[in-house]
Amino acid sequence: CLNPNEPQFYGVVMNKIKTFRNSHCSIARDFNRCLQQSLDTSNYQHINNPSARKQVINKIRNLDLVDVWRDDDPETQGYTWRRSKPI
């Protein structure tokens, strides 16, 4: 079983998506990666899992995929997880 924190996980997922290239494909999944650090996080000092993040960004670009939320809300800062006890 591949670990979603490993870059290889995203390579496997995106390669599977390539098989759907001649049809429309919707991916309803949070990849759990902050693609735009300034918009997708608050008070983070470091980029978590930079290799996995880079893999997702490159695959999205190479497969011409669209983050529909970010496409509709290009400047909105938002995230779905918060630390219960902020640093």
Encode pLDDT of 21-47 as tens digits.
677 777 776 667 778 888 877 777 778
- Cα distance between residue 27 and residue 66, in whole Å: 10
The encoded tokens of residue 65 equal 């995929």
User: For the residues 61-79, what does the mean pLDDT come to?
Assistant: 84
Beta strands in 1-87 (DSSP E): none
The pTM (predicted TM-score) of the whole model is: 0.65
The encoded tokens of residue 77 equal 């800062």
Residue 53 has pLDDT above 80, yes or no: yes
